[in-house]
Structure 1
């Protein structure tokens, strides 16, 4: 039997203890009147991504759907060249780059040196209909940074983003809407502000709290990462989850725990997509907006962190720790 479940359980318990929280009994509060909603599509934000790793697997979470950026006919090829034929219609699921680390991983968050599986690696996607679908790593920021010999320390530490190309079977049952919240309405390109309320759908580990609201402390570490506090924080297995700002715009992907606090490091998606367009073989890609309006007030969510759950400001020196 794989050692992953026990390792994951210990790591989750440790993170929650550091945050002064229980991994089982976490209070949720209604944000408004719950409305009956149709069930989410089998593939989309929040599904679990399973990367084979030795005799076990690395479990992560998908954030948003992406597709080739608009060219002259509404599509751009993977190499960035515009063309006049019909769009290829490729769909990608976003997740974190560290989700395809190898068994030789040293446990750091330095994407410029950490061993990572090559682009082209096949992964499994656990659909909400109980089926397992397939996908292929089409872009990994860590692989791209290592290929070009990246030396920017901010990029090495915070550029944590990957795109999984969906198989035709998975693409046929995919929907970009974030379950419960609705949206995303667009891509956030100017970052979150200190004190802004943010949201994340994280259904795969702490089942009692899949829909989280939290507070962004902005980007004090630079434009590539946001400091986000939720109660409970994102834990191993939640890696790759997407974050929405107060307007329902997609801004981030869960990447790390920022010690000595219980805040999470959330990689900036706009920055990550710019890097992929400039240095990745995938070319330019766009976020696919959700098909339902952003409506967080219809959900039961975790409580907004307050008091001792929020780190004192100004923040101490933060050290990103991996969620593996």
Structure 2
């Protein structure tokens, strides 16, 4: 079962120091980049942020494999969905990167929301849902063969069980937002993310700050470097730009252009594809109820 699909080479201590210096130079917000967004007008629709347990950044378990939630979505019938990576429900090997060829669990597969999961235990169950959309399944059904979407369209939605909808808040832990969605961030643009890998010994390292390394796969994705990098279990987690716009979903760990960089799917492309093909009418990203906060490194 794939969590983050590509293998990552062991980095030397000196290499990590150099990479940290690169990030420190890149993440300083450009003038006007760190503007905060207004809190969502829909705040009353969601659980108060202090009591919500199903949010972006929550752990999601599918057939035993653990990933991280990116953002919250709703549809025309006001049903609630949480996004993660399509490969989180994949059936292939850790090296599978072509979503048009890899196998996947079917729609309706149970998914468990959790916190505190580690390599030694599955953590506390916070709620349950079912796989409602997978870009991998959809591309396979449609006979998609084009290299760019097949390699980078890695997005899925889990419908939150009705009994658990009152536990949901769309705000990203630590950073707040999102304030909407944006396109592929230019190279050097500030990025923030929040991952909840069960392989990470402390939640202190869950908030991540970094920078875009530029567009990939014909605009279907981009590479990113964050400190710390995304690791297995962070897959599916969302990335926001320096203005708090949702821009990506974590897909792979890569060896280039920087060791331990991440391959990220463009949320704009992935969501547009899902809106056209998912049979979920009125699908939309939900903005956070909490204002986006500028990077804490600024």
Q: TM-score range by the shorter chain?
A: 0.7 to 0.9
- Cα deviation per residue 1:78-132 (whole Å; 9 max; x = unaligned)? xxxxxxxxxx320000000000012x54631100111111111111111589434
1:63 pairs with 70, 94, 99, which one?
70
1:274 pairs with 272, 275, 282, which one?
272
In the TM superposition, residue 231 of structure 1 has moved relative to its aligned partner by: 2.3
Task: Provide the TM-score with structure 1 as the length reference.
Answer: 0.72
Aligned residue pairs total: 256
Residue equivalent to 1:195: 188
> Matches of 1:201 and 1:126 in 2, distance apart?
15
Where do 1:288-307 residues align within 5 Å?
A: 288-297=286-295, 299=296
C-alpha distance 40-61 of structure 1, shift in aligned 2 (>3 A)? farther
In the TM superposition, residue 226 of structure 1 has moved relative to its aligned partner by: 1.3
Q: Which structure would you say has the larger Rg?
A: 1
Unpaired runs of 5+ residues, structure 2, are 18-23, 29-47, 117-122
Runs of 4+ with >6 A deviation:
none
Task: Provide the TM-score with structure 2 as the length reference.
Answer: 0.78
- State whether residues 51 and 167 of structure 2, in contact with CA within 8 Å, keep that contact through their aligned partners in structure 1: no
In the TM superposition, residue 256 of structure 1 has moved relative to its aligned partner by: 0.7
Residue equivalent to 1:170: 164
Residue equivalent to 2:101: 113
Residue equivalent to 1:210: 206
* Aligned-partner SS, 2:132: strand
Residue equivalent to 2:173: 179
- State whether residues 245 and 251 of structure 1, in contact with CA within 8 Å, keep that contact through their aligned partners in structure 2: yes
Q: Does 1:249 align with 2:238?
A: no
> Matches of 1:18 and 1:277 in 2, distance apart?
43
The Cα RMSD (Å) is 2.8
- State whether residues 47 and 125 of structure 1, in contact with CA within 8 Å, keep that contact through their aligned partners in structure 2: yes
- State whether residues 137 and 164 of structure 1, in contact with CA within 8 Å, keep that contact through their aligned partners in structure 2: yes
1:124 pairs with 103, 108, 112, which one?
112
Residue equivalent to 1:94: 83
In the TM superposition, residue 277 of structure 1 has moved relative to its aligned partner by: 1.8
* Aligned-partner SS, 1:296: coil
- State whether residues 43 and 127 of structure 1, in contact with CA within 8 Å, keep that contact through their aligned partners in structure 2: no
* Aligned-partner SS, 1:157: helix
Where do 1:151-162 residues align within 5 Å?
A: 151-162=145-156
Residue equivalent to 2:59: 48
- State whether residues 71 and 83 of structure 2, in contact with CA within 8 Å, keep that contact through their aligned partners in structure 1: yes
